[in-house]
Structure 1
């Protein structure tokens, strides 16, 4: 399935004493003509051509003979399945059948013949990724030679947003808007990914607290017992970890890369400039970047995503699992609606509709603060250049006006949703004219569980949490493996 996203212009408000509600643009559902997509127009054309040919050839009898053809075309065009016309499922099912035939739904790690040095041991399209360690910062950079991108990951710490007073929340929202505006103005950023994960608590925080506040010289029974209890403490809860991934578009930065020396070293030098700019913007927004992750730290995140059972062990023991060459899964089995990796089952949900009404910035709290569910929430932001955004907005305006004229000719009434989409386009044009950036958002949620029964229960619970957040979610059927890499890994991958 092609990636469908929300277009939303970011317009930071002046800092005020009250929290200001915001509104997302609607997900456009317009087609090429009268709301029909290209595939629907093809099937409609087949149905009309068949009916006309039958009427000219033999009248009503031939119309009955050709009924299976034009009736099937009509069903493919207008009958919905899981919210989409049947014809739009044909490419998904066809690609799924092809992958099933050639055995791409199963992945097994090659033990005797490992992958070449410098590559990531990941399944599917991610096998082409290459690792590069920046000699200046020590950061691990992931190079995609096909997409011409170079990605770096940073861990972010921040206070609990929901516990702040409204004035402080509004100030932080405005500051975060400036961070996104910085990304939009760069022109060299391909993708910005915010990944928020729930992880089992390994007890490391307790151990660090005891090291800081405890008294090693105290040999009393209580102190000894307390130290042993903390030392043996295993996962007793869950914690939240947030990473921010920045992907450099090497095509748009060709001139700067050539000036910096060319090749991967030149790209790393250009990416360092973007890293410094983003770090300064994050600190001005009262977010604390914990440093750009090394290849070993990225390896731990990848290993924990595919093998959640080992996550606590990797955190407690310093250097175990700090090798990108072995950080991938040992086995992956993909089915139509879920994916099975080393020690867990996963399902990926797509946020197909953001809130249509005015909501406050903390509207995602029911999803992000859901307890007892291991999940990853990934927000993929794709900045659009000003000239590209202007062309896209002009194209949408022309399409809306043309569709409105066609509906008026055939006597079709324009509904409220079409009017709202047109007003969103006008608002985006006004924001772009005022100097704001245009971001394209994609929200993905990965649900993880040890059994299929628990997975189904957790997916149902998160779907209800999304309803409380005024969002609509859809299970990404037929593409779970690709969606998992985009939703659970901080590599700025696309679906």
Structure 2
């Protein structure tokens, strides 16, 4: 049987009818005045307070598309205020003629605090790999381009091997006590045919048969419309609070942090090439990372860059790099249902893990485009909790599950199969943590990008249909489309749940 991951449950387990402590406290504070008024026989006041308690119950308990009503209210209010003050629209400094240093990243929204440094020289070629610093979240990260033979045609034993390799990777990252997140990102990009056009221009003979010329042109057009290219990246993230002490041993500052990150990169690369079966792991330099970010915002720009690389072979004066000041979009606008950047629109959805578990490689249908010109991408984030925090959360979850089971037994409420499964998972998770495994809370975000001449709402619906066809439940990231796009498309180590100094 192929590797199936099902050791997950609610992030917070409620011990009283699935209600967490803060929610139960809010409901208690809302209900107590009703009983006090009724005890004093002030029936009109009791009825008014009961109506208020009902409103509080709806706002706190009833979920609406994955969030509480209170969460939606606060998010809608924040978005409305931002829209009124123009905070949801962004224009780059290069587009307004204010760009100063071309090596400084100029990115919108949640990416504003990103700064990319050139690391210390390494290896015989003295390569300087890109070190990503997020000033807003106080984190450091490195990104590698990876290649994998895939799991589509792999047998069950091979998938089990890959699953064990991923487990070993997360365990090693947890034992290092530095890495907070391991991020895998995959992009299915429409083939622009740039390499084929260059090959044809180089090898086609002027005196060749006209029929062969026409057949090759028609074949190239048909293949370009149907073909796609796949790009895969892995990023590990280290919070500043964890790396600061070890960086002092290497001299401190940027150089000390770079050397710590390089050591972690070697460990991660060894694990990727080993149990996970990666055929190639290449850590990106700053120009390569800038190119990946630029093609993330504008997929069609790759063809021009490929042409520049070809022209550079004959004319060294041709520029082949993308300055960080121009790696982002010239303009971006966040709306309630989608994210607009340059001539493109994007829609993002989170993916809810099913109760029966997720098979390794089950997300493959999400990457399949429905029409030419459509770009699909998704990211899977593995946040790794420190062992001390994981032990506290596991003990709390186990206690809450047992308490809930006991309360249902005392109240003679029939225990449902899902409740029994949650209790079993809580005990099983505690046993695995005691045996030395890491505790992680994985989540996935998928994104579709199309040109503004195409109806993005229709492609968003098709993305959700692909997620459901893969066996998962989609949840549209309304009011947070910019964050969803950044997490699902850009290999910068961005996520949805990370907080500063976490």
In which range does the TM-score fall when normalised by the shorter chain? 0.7 to 0.9
TM-score (norm 1): 0.85
State the distance in 2 between where 1:321 and 1:478 align: 34
State the Cα deviation string for residues 377-403 of structure 1 (Å, max 9, x = none): 101111223333222211211222333
State the distance in 1 between where 2:19 and 2:193 align: 55
SS in 2 for 1:379: strand
Could you say what the CA RMSD is over the residues aligned between the two structures, in angstroms?
A: 3.2
Alignment partner of 1:289 is 2:277: no
Alignment partner of 1:385 is 2:386: yes
User: What corresponds to 2:313 in structure 1?
Assistant: none
User: What corresponds to 1:403 in structure 2?
Assistant: 404
State the distance in 2 between where 1:481 and 1:351 align: 17
SS in 2 for 1:134: strand
User: What corresponds to 1:178 in structure 2?
Assistant: 168
Which sections of structure 2, spanning at least 5 residues, go unmatched? 122-126, 310-318, 497-502
State the distance in 2 between where 1:243 and 1:255 align: 28
Structure 1 residue 191: deviation in Å?
1.5
Indicate how the Cα distance of structure 1 residues 452 and 381 shifts in structure 2: closer, same or farther if over 3 A, else same: farther
8 Å contact from structure 2 (residues 295, 302) kept in 1: yes
Structure 1 residue 340: deviation in Å?
0.9
State the Cα deviation string for residues 424-449 of structure 1 (Å, max 9, x = none): 12222222223322222120001112
State the distance in 2 between where 1:169 and 1:66 align: 58
State the distance in 1 between where 2:301 and 2:203 align: 31
Structure 1 residue 196: deviation in Å?
0.3
State the distance in 2 between where 1:428 and 1:378 align: 24
State the Cα deviation string for residues 68-118 of structure 1 (Å, max 9, x = none): 523422332444422444233233223323423432211112323336665
Alignment partner of 1:265 is 2:250: no
State the distance in 1 between where 2:159 and 2:79 align: 45
Alignment partner of 1:461 is 2:462: yes
8 Å contact from structure 2 (residues 398, 430) kept in 1: no
Map 1:61-460; keep pairs closer than 5 Å.
61-66=44-49, 68-110=51-93, 111-114=96-99, 118-136=103-121, 137-206=127-196, 220-221=208-209, 225=213, 229=217, 235-236=224-225, 237-284=227-274, 285-318=276-309, 319-320=319-320, 322-352=322-352, 354-358=353-357, 360-372=359-371, 373-451=374-452, 454-460=455-461
TM-score (norm 2): 0.84
8 Å contact from structure 1 (residues 348, 445) kept in 2: yes
User: What corresponds to 1:483 in structure 2?
Assistant: 484
State the distance in 2 between where 1:470 and 1:326 align: 39
Structure 1 residue 267: deviation in Å?
0.5
Structure 1 residue 229: deviation in Å?
5.0
8 Å contact from structure 1 (residues 131, 141) kept in 2: yes
8 Å contact from structure 1 (residues 200, 311) kept in 2: no
SS in 1 for 2:242: coil
State the distance in 1 between where 2:419 and 2:409 align: 14
SS in 1 for 2:361: coil
SS in 2 for 1:399: helix
Structure 1 residue 156: deviation in Å?
0.9
Indicate how the Cα distance of structure 1 residues 261 and 90 shifts in structure 2: closer, same or farther if over 3 A, else same: same
Indicate how the Cα distance of structure 1 residues 197 and 397 shifts in structure 2: closer, same or farther if over 3 A, else same: same
SS in 1 for 2:293: helix
SS in 2 for 1:276: helix
Indicate how the Cα distance of structure 1 residues 115 and 384 shifts in structure 2: closer, same or farther if over 3 A, else same: farther
Structure 1 residue 263: deviation in Å?
0.9
